[in-house]
Homo-oligomer: A and B are copies of this chain.
Amino acid sequence: MHRRDFAALAGAATVSGLPGWLSATAQQPVRVNGERLNRHLAELAAHGRSPTGTNRAAYTDADLSGREYVTGLLREAGLDVRMDTAANIFGRREGSQRGLPAILLGSHIDSVPDGGNYDGDVGSLGAIEVARTLGERRISTRHPIEVVIFQNEEGGTIGSKLMAAGLTEAELDGVARSGKTIREGTRLLGGDPARLSEARRSPGDYLCYFELHIEQGGILDEAGIKIGVVEGIVGIRWYEVTIRGFANHAGTTPMDRRKDAMLAAARLTVAVNEITRAIPGRQVATVGRITALPGTVNVIPGQVVLTIDLRDMSVATMTLATGRFHDAARRIEAETGTSITFRDLSTNEPAPTDPRLRRVITESARALGLSSREMPSGAGHDAQEVARIAPIAMIFVPSVRGISHSPEELSRPEDITNGANVLLQSVLAVDRTGLGR
């Protein structure tokens, strides 16, 4: 810990009654109760536990009981609890200065099928623990503090979208993993699909949004770094590529007379990988799905459909990579006698975090004696939606071996506690100094 930084960070916080966070050790920043936080995480894990992993998909019984458990924690933390019409759960603690916008912090508690116990849960319970610590230590903040538990993040950041942008009628009729539509599921959770507009928030309603989350990659774990300061949530381009050749007999068609869609698909898959690695930067591209027709051992495939998932913080880099994918496709078409077409499946623009908030997080980590590094988030998060209405920030803690969306997902208790402490210090620092405006 660097005392100068600590003093600069925490020195100006307003303490009401007993000087809460200073009372125990005047030299130390206030800290969350890590043992309690990790116990709550273990208790939440019981909701949706199954032999194949955590199954707490949105709109299931496990989701309902998990939300009930979390609502209890919000109450225990002394927060005013409410649910908006989009079925997002909020816990609010008022600030000392009238008219200031709230600082929002939170995440989600729904899981993917056969998922783990950390994705979303760490940020949700970490935010509650921060609010509870503020209450226990009787630390008054200038801004109100709001904890949010967004509904159905894994199904497409639904709750945060409903808050920050809204969904179309068609999107509301989309079927979630539970088998229910978004509309039905939102109603099941206690929302009111007929009054969704009431859940919408606008720029200025919140000072900023902090989301603590597990990294879901292995960068921090491998480097032994404790805190990831997220530069932003990467943009995503999804392409469906159709390669048309000519289906023919695998025995009677000489090698030089083929229009082999599988060979063209393989060359394109290799090219996508090589192109992505050749461009400087941290962009990633993945061929995840492939279908070959007719798909029998003894027929040269006449058609192959595959997908490309391309992600980066930079739109320019994604545009460059996509252009090179197309160039490669033109070359492969000529070499293999096939035709290759790209179709846009989905586009998400990058959501950069606020550089002032990044500095606050970096300083908070340093004050706590924790190593940190800036890094992009390759995964999507509720924060990318909230970015439409407020400056956002994300704090990453290490994922052991980088595994996520799996029962093997693991973040160490001490790392989770560290993350919550950085969140607490960052909230306090922003509350004190604002965003430098």
Contact = CB atoms under 8 A, between A and B. Distances in A.
A301 B286 CA distance: 9
Interface string A260-275: 1011011101100100
Contacts of A301: 287-288
A345 interface: yes
B290 A292 contact: yes
Given A265-B266, A307-B297, A284 B378 contact: no
Interface in A205-238: 215-219, 222, 234, 236, 238
Interface string A275-305: 0110000101111111010011111110000
A253 B290 contact: no
A57 to B, nearest CB: 15
A309 interface: yes
A289 B284 contact: no
Contacts of A282: 254
A250 B217 CA distance: 10
A276 B264 CA distance: 16
A255 interface: yes
A403 interface: yes
A249 interface: yes
Contacts of A284: 250-251, 253-255
Contacts of A402: 248, 252-253, 257
B249 A405 contact: yes
Contacts of A270: 263, 266-267, 270
A214 to B, nearest CB: 10
Interface string A90-119: 000000000000000000000000000000
A45 to B, nearest CB: 20
Report which residue of A222, A286, A345, A379 has the largest number of chain B beta carbons within 10 angstroms of its beta carbon: A286
Nearest to A405: B249
A297 B289 contact: yes
Q: Is the interface of A mostly helix, strand, loop or mixed?
A: mixed
B219 A254 contact: yes
A235 to B, nearest CB: 10
B288 A289 contact: no
Nearest to A238: B297
A425 interface: no
Interface in A399-418: 402-405
A309 B295 CA distance: 12
Given A218-B257, A238-B297, A255-B276, 6 more contacts: A251-B284, A252-B404, A257-B402, A263-B269, A266-B269, A289-B297
21 contacts: A216-B251, A216-B252, A217-B251, A217-B252, A217-B257, A218-B257, A238-B298, A251-B309, A251-B311, A252-B379, A253-B402, A265-B266, A266-B266, A266-B267, A267-B270, A286-B298, A286-B300, A287-B301, A288-B292, A289-B296, A289-B297
Shortest beta-carbon contacts, A-B, top 6 = A251-B378, A217-B252, A266-B269, A250-B286, A252-B378, A266-B266
Interface of A: 215-219, 222, 234, 236, 238, 248-257, 260, 262-263, 265-267, 269-270, 273, 276-277, 282, 284-290, 292, 295-301, 307, 309, 311, 345, 377-380, 402-405
